Amino acid sequence: MAIHPIEYRYGRKEVKDIFSEENRLQTMLDVEAALARAHAKVGNIPKKDAEAISRKASTSHVKISRVNEIEATTNHDVMAVVKALAEQCGASGGYVHLGATSNDITDTATALQLRDYISVLSKDLRRLKASIISQAKKHRKTVCIGRTHGQHAVPTTYGLKFAIWAAEVQRHLERLEECRKRILVGKMSGAVGTQAALGKHAIRIQELVMRDLRLNAPLASNQVLQRDRLGEFMLLMALIAESLNKFATEIRNLQRTEIGEVSEGFGRKQVGSSTMPHKRNPIYAERVCGISRVIKADAIAALENIPLWHERDLTNSSCERIIVPEACILLDYILDVSANLVSNLVFNKANIKRNLEMTQGRMMAESMMVRLVEKGMGRQQAHELVRECAMESNNKNKPFMAVLEKNRKIGRLLSAQEIEDALKPEKYVGTAVEQVDAAIRKLK
């Protein structure tokens, strides 16, 4: 019976497979096989025994059902894997897990899983970035009202909104690439990190295992890899999730009935509400916002796992079994949802125009102030003069143009045509288009 929504509602098969019970077992077997091969290379065990262990280190031989059966007796998951593999290896089984402690296997196996996941995550981010850049291109000159404090400010463009988002996604890609070297790390350090059980070739054995598995080795370790590594990765996932939360929140706001500039794509037979037939709710954006909270909470739990007692305790283990696959599966899912969401946005040009005109031209007050300064008026004087005109326009519900034309101080410096020109939104977007073009060139 399915319990967690990941099992039946959220998540994609590709990522679920990485964190499946069977793949987890296979990565642990991969580490055991690499350890045996390293022992053989330094002369600790016969080569034929390492080859036998490597052949049997597969879920086609070591079954989950058998591992679970052994664990029911041993109450130790790694020892259950060791015993299940050893019994498949015959006489060579005596060399399985030689010199290792449980976390040598589990921490290194986690690194193998994260390596596969990071590859998917990188593709997800690139796909999202491409979706955003596509919208930036389409709307590089789509002028809209900018908002600060939830209030109309001055004009901007939708292209610039999207360019800002794309640059943020690019920073996440850069962070991901930069942290690989600290995240994709395995170890063979034994019970408390001294490598005593691995013998005189311990350092070489760790080097060989990590080279075999294409992972980095730590500079120093105790029984576990230090959890700042995993904490960093979980925080990066939370950062990415919060960016998606930000993007989705903006879309949700822009879809509000009172604004109505942008909305999610809506299927021909899609239902918005079980009781209100007219509803077209931003369900995908809301889903992204909601799931992002879970990923952020998982990151907080990862931070709690950093301070372990002495050379280690077990408090991180049960926690990580939940938070690592959960956060990874959910982040991949909302990245996929976000890419589709951005690609299928619907723009209502009539509402964009309506909102630009809603304040009867007052959102062009800054433009008017700048024009007066260009004509020789002091900046502070111009600000106060235009502010008074804007307040009159608002309080008397008059068009801003009418109030400005009536003002004698302004009339001495600007003609009616110049005032009208200063109030055109499309002429007051500064370098927005240039910024979008530069971002597209750089981010492609």
> Which CATH number applies to 121-186+220-354?
1.20.200.10
Task: Please list, in sequence order, all residues whose beta carbon lies within 8 angstroms of the beta carbon of residue 216, skipping any fewer than 6 positions away.
Answer: 181, 184, 185, 186, 210
Tell me the pLDDT tens digit for each residue of 275-288: 777 878 899 999 99
Mark whether 273 is an active-site residue.
yes
Model pLDDT for residues 394-414, shown as the tens digit of each residue: 999 999 999 999 999 999 999
How far from chain centre, in Å, is Cα 422? 42
Burial of 42 (0-12, 13-18, 19+ CB in 10 A): middle
Which residue type occupies 104?
Answer: D
Choose the catalytic residue: 65, 149, 310, 318.
149
What is the rounded distance in angstroms from the CA atom of residue 205 to the CA atom of residue 407? Answer: 85
154 by DSSP, 3-state: which? strand
Residue 113 CB neighbour total at 10 angstroms: 19
Active site residue 61: no
DSSP state, 214? T
Nearest of 333, 325, 329, 351 to residue 284 by alpha carbon? 333
| pLDDT tens, residue order, the chain (444 aa) | 889 999 999 999 999 999 999 999 999 999 999 999 999 999 999 999 999 999 999 999 999 999 999 999 999 999 999 999 999 999 999 999 999 999 999 999 999 999 999 999 999 999 999 999 999 999 999 999 999 999 999 999 999 999 999 999 999 999 999 999 999 999 999 999 999 999 999 999 999 999 999 999 999 999 999 999 999 999 999 999 999 999 999 999 999 999 999 999 877 777 777 777 787 889 999 999 999 999 999 999 999 999 999 999 999 999 999 999 999 999 999 999 999 999 999 999 999 999 999 999 999 999 999 999 999 999 999 999 999 999 999 999 999 999 999 999 999 999 999 999 999 999 999 999 999 999 999 998
**Which homologous superfamily is 17-95 in?**
Fumarase/aspartase (N-terminal domain) (1.10.275.10)
Domain boundaries, the chain: 17-95, 121-186+220-354, 362-422
CB-CB contact of 346 with 285 (8 Å)? no
Which one of the listed residues 4, 76, 119, 273 is annotated catalytic?
273
What would the DSSP string read from start to end of 253-319? HHHSTTT-SEE----TT--S-SS-TT----HHHHHHHHHHHHHHHHHHHHHHTS--STT--SHHHHH
Beta strands in 357-415 (DSSP E): none
Distance CA(373)–CA(302), nearest Å, equals: 55
Question: CATH number of the domain at 362-422, please?
Answer: 1.10.40.30
